[in-house]
Amino acid sequence: MAVKDKAGKIAEKSTTIKTTANQVAESITSGKTYISNTNIKDGYGNNVKVPAGFKIASDSGKNVTEGVVIEDVSAGDNNTKGNQYVWVPIGNIKTNTSGGTKTVTLGRYDFNVNEQGTGTGASTLRQSADNYTEVVTLVGYAQELTSSSYGNTVAKNLGDFITKAKNAGGYYIGRYEAGKVSGNTNTFNIKKNQNVYNNVTQPKSATLSRNLYSSNNNFQSDLVNSYAWDTAIVFIQAFSGDSKYSGQQPLQRSIATTGNAHSGSTYDVRCNIYDMAGNVSEFSTETWTESKSVPCTDRGGDYSYGKNYTAYRYRRSPSLTTNIRGFRSILYL
């Protein structure tokens, strides 16, 4: 039966869906720099926590599902100005204005990928963030430890990362692999078209990452851990349209003339995150406990060897330096 209003007219039931003002898009247009850690919303109602001293980058996605990019305006110094990170959301992520959601769980994962980099790419949660203090081994020997006597460097404070990422509803991962700052080996940048910071040890990768913003009390920086790497893959596979990105292999390309790979290749970008599959393999804080001589776990593949893939884990020496290995940093607040 039709319902009449006070004027006697038949009132039609509204099918209009209430949408959220897209503060991310507004920030892209305005170029606003946030002076304190600030929660803003995308057009679907998803939260993004922007660190003090950053803005939303001009080429950022307008919604979390596309990859929201932040850019350092005044958070650090002249070397870090222009650094870019991508928001990796965790929890129930809204995918449209009609109430659709997908869940991204912070954790360590196995992916259905074989040695040839093929398979369904499906993710299996092996260790959730809630039990990070437990020793859970992946791929035979890889463990995310809160301390290590193996000679590698573990996460600065794994519990702090997990607590803050869960409370914020996400964390940031470097948009690019660490890049070299000319004439300065004690810092790095996260910018497009930079020579990758390679020929670096795992302990130095960790020290550089945690010291990048060490004087800033608004957020923390660190070398990527296995929770951050694996969850970024889950996020990418959920929203990029590439459900098999965990098995993506690097494009082999010769750069032997310079010995330096360049971050920001165009073939390997998903949700605004570049080169997780290739360019150079990347040190992480995960410990490979097979032997004290090879306690470091690196992730992804490198330009010289096409077999490895995004989710790949392999053992390395902490002192090993090579031009096909670099690192990536994270931010959490």
pLDDT at 303: 83
User: Would you say residue 10 has pLDDT above 60?
Assistant: no
pLDDT tens figures, 39-75: 999 999 999 999 999 999 999 999 999 999 999 999 9
Please give the angle made by the CA atoms of 64, 272 and 278, to the nearest 5 degrees.
Answer: 140
pLDDT band at 317 (very low <50, low <70, confident <90, very high): very high
pLDDT tens figures, 224-274: 999 999 999 999 999 999 999 999 998 765 443 344 566 666 778 999 999
Nearest by Cα to 278 from 245, 232, 317, 320: 245
DSSP structure string for 59-117? T--SSGGG--EEEESSSS-TTTTT-EEEEEE-EEEE-STTS-EEEE--EEEEES--TTS
pLDDT at 187: 95
* Helix (H/G/I), strand (E/B), else coil: 41: strand
pLDDT tens figures, 11-30: 443 333 445 699 999 999 99
Cα–Cα distance for residue pair 94/46, rounded to 1 Å: 6
pLDDT tens figures, 160-184: 999 999 999 999 999 999 999 989 9
pTM: 0.92
pLDDT tens figures, 270-293: 999 999 998 899 999 999 999 999
pLDDT at 260: 57
